[in-house]
Structure 1
Amino acid sequence: MIGTGHGPGGPLSALGLGELRERHSAKWREYPPEVLPMWVAEMDTPLAEPIAAALREAVARGDTGYAVACGLPEAFAAFAARRFGWHTDPAAIRLVPDVMAGIIEVLHLVTAPGDRVVVNTPAYPPYFYWLPRIGREVVQSPLALGPDGYRLDLAALERDFAAGAAAFLLCNPHNPTGLVLTEEELRAVAALASRYGVRVVSDEIHAPLVYAGARHVPFPSLDDPAAARSVALVSASKAWNLAGLKAALAVPGPEARRDLAAIAAEVSESSGMFGVLASEAAFTAGEPWLDALMAGLNANRALLGDLLAERLPGVGYQPPQATYLAWLDLRALGLGDDPAEWFLRRGSVALYSGLKFGAPGRGFARFNFATPPDLLTDAIARMASSLDGRARTPRPTALDAL
């Protein structure tokens, strides 16, 4: 049955290109039909059957009113205990429309206008839009890039904390690099935050998408004063492809409950009822589908490495420890600061421009490999072919109208 995730290919092989092009989401409607979209963080999968069933039942009931949390906090708490060994109190968890909205609400509560908020770059692009919009200054604290990939630069982080930061917006697992911080690294972050009085707000939206060999440790679960005062933002949206349904949760450490209690009821009501019901089904009954998805993503993660080595050997690629996002170092190809523009115009492949991820994104691009293996293969073939005769003027296409 479509949507179960069972079978040899799992969820990532359930749909073909024709079916995917019928979708109305941003991934498939942003660019003309000849473009393969490998940019925004949407997956090319059907819904997990428990989620689809929950939504069908809601439609049958006409259950389309204003959202309340229902059983979602309890469902997440049970999932977090099973998956991460994290025991949190559902009564303290607050419903928010999505993770970014939750981050903004929490920063409103724990910082003041003009305060400095540290983010590790390259960083999720909406951070650069939303934080200045609410009057907070973004402080870019670059990750360290070495031969084995990215790591947290604790010395740089301490420098930025000591310079007067009010908060640290931690992204773990990290978007776009796929880095998963170890417990030791997180404890070091907590120690620095305690020393300098920095509040930690942790974006953990990709927590369910960690591969074997790494382990997600929720920041508020640490036994540390800074962790006790922290807030994690979580959601089923990335792991079960529910971003358009609008539901996420703010989960406090033991000493941050009073902060979250100040979130206005109108914020929770801006969530979507379908998002709440779908997320509850995901956390309660969606783990078999998630496990099948992770097997497919792990295969695609390896396939991408093989294809790049064969067709684009100059591209730097470190398989991510989590997420379905690959952070590609394209600087050796000589395509300038924005190689995504080249591959869009000359290869009809849409990547997410590295320039949008902060200063360290020059010459990089983000590639979404949560797609059928044949489309992944086609995308890399197109990118490789676009480099043949690169001085040639491209043919006019529908992209010229964008």
Structure 2
Amino acid sequence: MDSTPRDTAPADPSDPAADHTGPPLRQLSLTQLRRRTSMKWRAYPEDVLPLWVAEMDVPQAEPVVRAVTDAMRLGDTGYPAGTPYAEALSRFARDRWGWDGLAVDRTAIVPDVMLGIVEMLKLVTGPGDAVVVNCPVYPPFYQFVRNMDRRVVEAPLDPDGRLDTAALTAAFTRATSGGRPAAYLLCSPHNPTGTLHTAAELTAVAALAHEHGVRVVVDEIHAPVVAGGSAFVPYLSVPGGSDGLSLMSASKAWNLAGLKAALAVAGDGAADDLARLPEEVGHGPSHIGIIAHTAALDDGRDWLDAVLAGLDRNRELLAGLLAEQLPGVRYRPGEATYLAWLDCRELGLGDDPAGVFLERGRVALNAGADFGTGGAGHVRLNLATSPAVITEAVRRMATAARATA
């Protein structure tokens, strides 16, 4: 087999033969994607296939394009006002998750999910207090928590990548030793594994947090991105979850990271906490971002469904390609997110297989060690791209692994 990395891609949409109305994940060529100036496409040289940071290789949903274009033409580029974003999210939660408990009057706009997490943690903890996380987990959890002078206490996931009540009990006990306040920063759905927490698991979390006096702050940014046949359960909807604080956004599901806007949502037992949020935090979100996110939630659902169907096919494709070309990689397709967590330890590539795949295969993935304890020897791969790019990426990874053997 030819070991020279090469670019293969779907047909260029500028080609009259291309399907301009086909599935979103198949519409754009590498040539078009490399015209983008965002982080995903500027961090590495052009010979590298970037399957790392959580940006999707899709054209934007037309309802979002129209809403933003109309606002720009009108000159509607001032400061945000009112609650249209929260109202749209409440409708989405009712229709998609069967949850009618998202009260608009218990929401606040925040610049983005991670900055919103910081503000929620400030409301329920102080400097030097502990924040529990489930490792391996999204690397900014560590970075942001430590930068705000809180201590990270890890509660590892179990061998199946699920919440481990024994590990949580031990972590909550450590976090609250000496009678200090503590918080639990829960990732739901979980990044990087794509695990969907069940209602029973979340109910157990709420009971355990109440028993130990730990406040739950939950990152639910990937909530709309679920596999077919799976269902997302909002933490605030489960028994005992009412004193939790959630961060939600349309940014991941509709590829809107560059249009900053997110929502903090309080359960009815945390309304007083959210009311203490400094007013200036609400000055951070972009008014255009709020317009985009609102349009996505209300009018971009068909587009989202098309993306979700493509992701289902990509999960199946990736599993088949790995079984054929890299059988030493262990991969359990997640029920949510567009991220794949690959256990590469049997390949003999050391603790940093992402470095090998980049150097020898020209494929950029996220290094597992960055996700905390349990991440070494793993990589995170972004599935939100075309089947052709995934196929080429696995070919390159297999070539890199053979070259290192």
Q: Mark yes or no: TM-score above 0.5.
A: yes
What secondary structure, in the 3-state scheme, does the structure 2 residue paired with 1:258 have?
Answer: helix
State the number of aligned residues. Answer: 382
Cα drift, residue 168 of structure 1: 0.6
Compare 28-37 and 55-64 and name the one that shifted more: 55-64
CA distance in 1, matches of 2:108, 2:207: 26
For the pair 1:303 / 2:317, whether they are aligned, the reply is yes
User: Using the alignment, how far apart are the partners of 2:327 and 2:173 within structure 1?
Assistant: 41
Question: CA-atom RMSD, angstroms?
Answer: 1.4
- Mapping of 1:357-368 within 5 angstroms? 357-368=371-382
The counterpart of 2:128, out of the listed 111, 114, 128, is: 114
Please identify, of 210-219 and 366-375, the stretch whose mean Cα deviation from structure 2 is larger: 210-219
The answer to whether the Cα contact below 8 Å between 1:339 and 1:364 also exists between their aligned partners in 2 is yes
Paired residues of 2:228 and 2:312 also in contact (CA < 8 A): no
Q: How does 1:1-400 map to 2 (within 5 A)?
A: 9-87=22-100, 88-145=102-159, 149-165=160-176, 166-224=182-240, 227-390=241-404
1:9: Cα distance to partner?
4.4
1:324 CA displacement: 0.5
Displacement of 1:266 in angstroms is 1.5
* Alpha-carbon distance in structure 2 between the residues aligned to 1:387 and 1:92: 51
Cα gap change, 1:188 to 1:260, in 2 (>3 Å) = same
SS at match of 1:336: coil
Contact 1:68 1:268 in 2 (8 A): no
TM-superposed deviation, 1:8? 7.8
C-alpha separation in 2, matches of 1:81 and 1:384: 44
Q: Deviations over 1:105-128 (max 9, x none)?
A: 000011111111100000110011
Give how far 1:67 is off.
2.9
- Contact 2:20–2:27 (CA under 8 A) maintained in structure 1: no
1:147-192 Cα offsets, whole Å, 9 max, x none, are xx31111111011112234111010100000001110111111110
CA contact (8 A) 1:69 1:95 kept: no
Question: Deviations along 1:331-355, whole A, 9 cap, x unmatched?
Answer: 0111111110001011000000111
In structure 2, stretches of 5+ residues that fail to align are 1-12, 14-18, 177-181
Q: Percent identity?
A: 53
Normalised to the residue count of structure 2, the TM-score between the two structures is: 0.92
User: 1:64: Cα distance to partner?
Assistant: 1.9
- Rounded to whole Å, the distance in 1 between the matches of 2:95 and 2:341 is 30
CA contact (8 A) 2:127 2:150 kept: yes
**Cα distance change, pair 253–28 in 1 and its aligned pair in 2 (3 A):** same
Maintained 8 Å contact 2:183/2:216: yes
Q: Which amino acid aligns with 2:171?
A: D
CA displacement at 1:265 relative to structure 2: 2.1
Q: 170-179 or 83-92: which moved more?
A: 83-92
Q: TM-score, structure 1 length as denominator?
A: 0.93
Q: Which shows bigger deviation, 239-248 or 62-71? A: 62-71
Kept in 2, the 8 Å contact 1:121–1:360? The answer is yes
Q: CA separation in 1, counterparts of 2:393 and 2:254? A: 23
Letter in 2 for 1:221: S
* Counterpart amino acid of residue 265 in structure 1: E
Q: Is 1:67–1:270's contact at 8 Å kept on the other side of the alignment? A: no
Q: Deviations over 1:259-299 (max 9, x none)?
A: 11111222111111121000000111111111111000000
Q: Which moved more, 1:161-170 or 1:253-262?
A: 161-170
Between the aligned partners of 2:194 and 2:372, the Cα distance in structure 1 is 16
Q: Partners in 1 of 2:52 and 2:76 — Cα distance?
A: 33
